[in-house]
Structure 1
Amino acid sequence: MAEHHHQRPADAVKAYLPDNGPSTTQVVSIATLFPVGSILLSLAGLILTCTLFGIAVSVPLFLLFSPIIVPAVMTLTLAVAGFLTSGVFGITALSSFTWIITYFMKMRASLPGQFEQAKRRVGDAAGHMGQTVREVGQKAQDTVWS
């Protein structure tokens, strides 16, 4: 155990490293990804610099022209919202009319069958009512004559 405490620092680091070196695939992927990552990081820095420059130039211009720009943007926004709203209402109206016409066409196609069914029901109800009236009349007649 005493020998373990007297190891050289390099040997202690090697104990945490894998026994064999990196594979060829790992070396190729690092060699490929390092330049790609460097280019992307450089582009991110360039874009950040351009954005900051653009803000530095546009804020004073925006403040200078805001009495013109703000009402113009509001007018354009309201105009676009109005056109979109009228379009949505128009599409809704057309789809509603289409549904109503389809509904009436289906109802009209099934109307003759419904009339025949209604005639049968009325006839059955009239026959049943006539039978009931006859029975009640017969009972009343029997009661009067008895």
Structure 2
Amino acid sequence: MADTARTHHDISSRDQYPVLGRERDQYPYPYGQYGRSDYQTSSQDYSKTRQIAKAATAVTAGGSLLVLSSLTLVGTVIALTVATPLLVIFSPILVPALITVALLITGFLSSGGFGIAAITVFSWIYKYATGEHPQGSDKLDSARMKLGSKAQDIKDRAQYYGQQHTGGEHDRDRDRTRGTHHTTTTT
């Protein structure tokens, strides 16, 4: 369990130098006549070698990608050079044909999409009408109740204002028949 807290360097050092706790002079390598400085030098050499390997890999990958991109560019230029005269010769036929094909594909895709949308809406309406409660039906019921209450409120207000308006006219007509006139001034 103590090994789990060690770093990679500790573990590789333990495997490389199994007897670190003993005297240096007993074991000629790595601590013997060469000392600790040779170990540090070899780790520096290892990091330099690793950097060189990384650079070589990057140069190789970059160079091969550069070669592939240049081959693709050359192939595109050759294909365009060969195809340009054919496109010029057949352009009176190809352009209307491409426009027609594009319109046909667009028409089929849109009609299919509208058909799927219509089937979905009809199935939702059927489920709602048969008493099942499809997704969103509670929001529809809530909106219907709000709309109904607002409509009833507007109807009540119209009746109230209508009664006030007609009630005032009936009073004026009755006053005219009696012979008394009310004059109203407007400002």
Q: Could you tell me which residue of structure 1 aligns to residue 68 of structure 2? A: 43
Q: Could you tell me which residue of structure 1 aligns to residue 179 of structure 2? A: none
Q: 1:88 aligns with which of 110, 113, 123?
A: 113
Q: Where does 1:65-104 land on structure 2 (aligned, <5 Å)?
A: 65-104=90-129
- Name the aligned partner's letter for residue 28 of structure 1: A
Q: Could you tell me which residue of structure 2 aligns to residue 120 of structure 1? A: none
Q: TM-score, normalised by structure 2?
A: 0.44
- Name the aligned partner's letter for residue 52 of structure 2: V
Paired residues in the alignment total: 89
Measured in 2, the distance between the counterparts of 1:49 and 1:93 equals 50
The farther-off stretch of 78-87 and 31-40 is: 31-40
Q: 1:26 aligns with which of 51, 62, 77?
A: 51
Displacement of 1:31 in angstroms is: 1.4
Displacement of 1:24 in angstroms is: 2.5
Q: Could you tell me which residue of structure 2 aligns to residue 113 of structure 1? A: none
- Name the aligned partner's letter for residue 126 of structure 2: I
1:27-72 Cα shifts (integer Å, max 9, x gaps): 1111112112111101111110111111111112111100111111
The alignment status of 1:57 with 2:90, answered yes or no, reads no
Measured in 1, the distance between the counterparts of 2:91 and 2:61 equals 42
SS at match of 2:104: helix
Runs of at least 4 residues off by over 6 Å: none
Measured in 1, the distance between the counterparts of 2:74 and 2:132 equals 69
- Name the aligned partner's letter for residue 85 of structure 2: P
Structure 2's unaligned 5+ residue stretches are 1-43, 134-187
Displacement of 1:107 in angstroms is: 6.7
- Name the aligned partner's letter for residue 104 of structure 1: A
1:53-104 Cα shifts (integer Å, max 9, x gaps): 1111111211110011111111111111111011011001100101101111
Identify if the C-alpha distance between structure 1 residues 29 and 107 changes in structure 2 by more than 3 Å, giving closer, same or farther.
closer
- When you count helix as a share of all residues, which structure comes out higher? 1
Q: TM-score, normalised by structure 1?
A: 0.56
Measured in 1, the distance between the counterparts of 2:132 and 2:81 equals 68
RMSD between superposed Cα atoms in Å: 2.0
- Name the aligned partner's letter for residue 90 of structure 1: G
